[in-house]
């Protein structure tokens, strides 16, 4: 990949002198969906697929950004003096947002850059291509200019830029998973405190299979921000009757005892998902530590049902994928992953069932949706790095 990126840079900008190549991973979340902005726990892992960049620092303030994924858009030119989000700037609003966020934190960028990006995460698949490019950009700025920023800071800067520059009110999970990834480990993260632990993923005789529904989601324009506001409404209502800072503070029993304080039926459903999903995540990690994959899988399935019925962030296509997967012998668990409204499902499948899984889902999906889904048997990788 390093040679590919150097060749791409030469093709676009001419010459390879002084060019450095970097990578940051995408992520898949095993369980704990829409809990990250509700003060709950999440359980993502970084992938070996992600975003690459070939970078050369300039001696002026110009920024020349190019993506090998969007060749027809050509080089998008801007400057450090114009770090504002423009609709026509398209995908470059993500790296520009991180540059803006660095400057907002007092880390002034001394010079511009020529950058070629390339991602092997399918865009709109819910595997965090946006967080990947944000963490990658932060890593590039730190390495190029010697800023004092730990990987955890890069995650927070990425979230800040997506919230305030790109207008998506996302939680911290995606950026944290990309910035803090560790090979063969998932990250059990308490999003209220940012306390975390690495949990080894030893799936003896099983694989993590990501299935792309090919329904592209866009969190900025989707109902994602609505869900966040509805959850906040549920919390506000509960706070009139019980002392809690976040929905993640509550057990299922506490929620059931006080849920009538939430008079809005939709807000009550959103609150229920946030509370129950957080508890499912805690139980799932305990099950994994106890080598009880069967319980882990059942909790994954319950997570999907909750996302379908209570949080309503699934879609018909992802429901077909998950519900079909549940009928296949050897499938331990399957659920929609990521922000929702499209994207991917994540499944844990026994080795001997992987081919049957792919064949069955392809057949059913073609019949019902008219498309063949894409499959990725994924590996858990490390965080950002220079190549």
Structural domains of the chain sorted by starting position, each given as residue range(s) with its CATH number in brackets = 2-200 (3.30.230.10)
Beta strands in the chain (DSSP E): 20-29, 41-42, 44-57, 62-67, 76-79, 113-119, 185-190, 195-200, 206-212, 331-337, 344-350, 374-378, 385-386
Long-range contacts of 351-358 (CB under 8 A, 24+ apart): 351/205, 351/206, 351/207, 353/328, 353/329, 354/207, 354/209, 356/328, 356/329, 356/330, 357/209, 357/325, 357/328, 357/330, 357/331, 358/209
Lookup result for tokens 């002026």: 60
Cβ atoms of 376 and 207 within 8 Å: the answer is no
Least Cα distance to 52 among 15, 123, 1, 109 occurs for 1
3-class DSSP assignment, residue 279: helix
Least Cα distance to 63 among 154, 146, 141, 1 occurs for 141
CA atoms within 13 A on the CB side of 228: 16
Q: What b/e readout covers 195-216, taking b as 16+ CB neighbours within 10 angstroms?
A: ebeebebebeebbbbbbbbbbe
Give the pLDDT of residue 341: 87
Question: Is 174 part of the annotated catalytic residue set?
Answer: yes
Q: Which of 36, 114, 174, 310 is catalytic?
A: 174
Give the pLDDT of residue 221: 57
Residues with pLDDT less than 70, the chain = 217-222
Least Cα distance to 179 among 199, 201, 160, 153 occurs for 153
Give the pLDDT of residue 123: 73
Give the pLDDT of residue 381: 95
3-class DSSP assignment, residue 293: helix
Cβ atoms of 218 and 124 within 8 Å: the answer is yes
Q: Are strands 195-200 and 20-29 parallel, antiparallel or unpaired?
A: unpaired
Q: Give the integer Cα–Cα distance in Å for 320 and 62.
A: 48
Tokens of 258: 């006080």
3-class DSSP assignment, residue 330: coil
Lookup result for tokens 């300039």: 58
**Helix/strand/coil percentages in the chain, nearest 5:** 45, 20, 35
pTM: 0.92
């Amino acid at each position: 990949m390093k040679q590919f990126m150097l060749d791409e840079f030469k093709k676009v900008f001419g010459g390879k002198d002084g060019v450095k190549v970097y990578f940051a991973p995408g992520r898949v979340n095993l369980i704990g969906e829409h809990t990250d902005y509700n003060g709950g726990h999440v359980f993502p892992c970084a992938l070996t697929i992600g975003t690459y960049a070939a970078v050369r620092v300039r001696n002026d303030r110009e920024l020349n950004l190019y993506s090998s994924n969007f060749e027809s858009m050509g080089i998008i030119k801007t400057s450090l003096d114009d770090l504002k989000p423009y609709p026509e700037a398209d995908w470059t609003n993500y790296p520009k947002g991180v540059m803006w966020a660095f400057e907002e934190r007092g880390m002034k960028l001394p010079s511009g850059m020529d950058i070629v990006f390339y991602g092997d995460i399918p865009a709109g698949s819910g595997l965090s291509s946006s967080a990947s490019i944000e963490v990658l950009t932060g890593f590039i700025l730190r390495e190029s200019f010697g800023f004092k920023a730990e990987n955890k800071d890069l995650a927070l800067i990425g979230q800040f830029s997506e919230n305030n520059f790109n207008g998506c009110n996302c939680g911290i999970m995606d950026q944290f998973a990309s910035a803090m990834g560790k090979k063969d480990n998932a990250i059990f993260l308490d999003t209220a405190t940012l306390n975390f632990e690495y949990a080894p993923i030893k799936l003896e005789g099983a694989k993590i299979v990501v299935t792309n529904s090919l329904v592209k989601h866009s969190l900025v324009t989707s109902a994602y921000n609505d869900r966040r506001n509805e959850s906040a409404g549920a919390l506000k209502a509960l706070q009139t009757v019980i002392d809690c800072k976040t929905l993640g503070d509550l057990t299922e029993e506490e929620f059931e005892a006080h849920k009538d304080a939430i008079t809005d039926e939709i807000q009550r459903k959103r609150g229920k998902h946030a509370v129950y999903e957080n508890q499912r995540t805690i139980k799932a990690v305990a099950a994994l530590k106890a080598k009880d994959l069967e319980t882990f899988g059942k909790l994954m399935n319950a997570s999907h049902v909750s996302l379908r019925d209570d949080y309503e962030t699934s879609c018909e296509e992802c429901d077909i994928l998950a519900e079909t997967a549940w009928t296949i012998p050897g499938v331990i668990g399957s659920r929609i992953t990521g922000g929702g409204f499209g994207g991917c499902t994540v499944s844990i499948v026994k080795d001997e069932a992987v081919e049957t899984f792919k064949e069955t889902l392809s057949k059913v999906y073609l019949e019902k949706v008219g498309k063949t889904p894409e499959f990725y048997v994924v590996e858990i990788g490390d965080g950002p790095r220079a190549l």
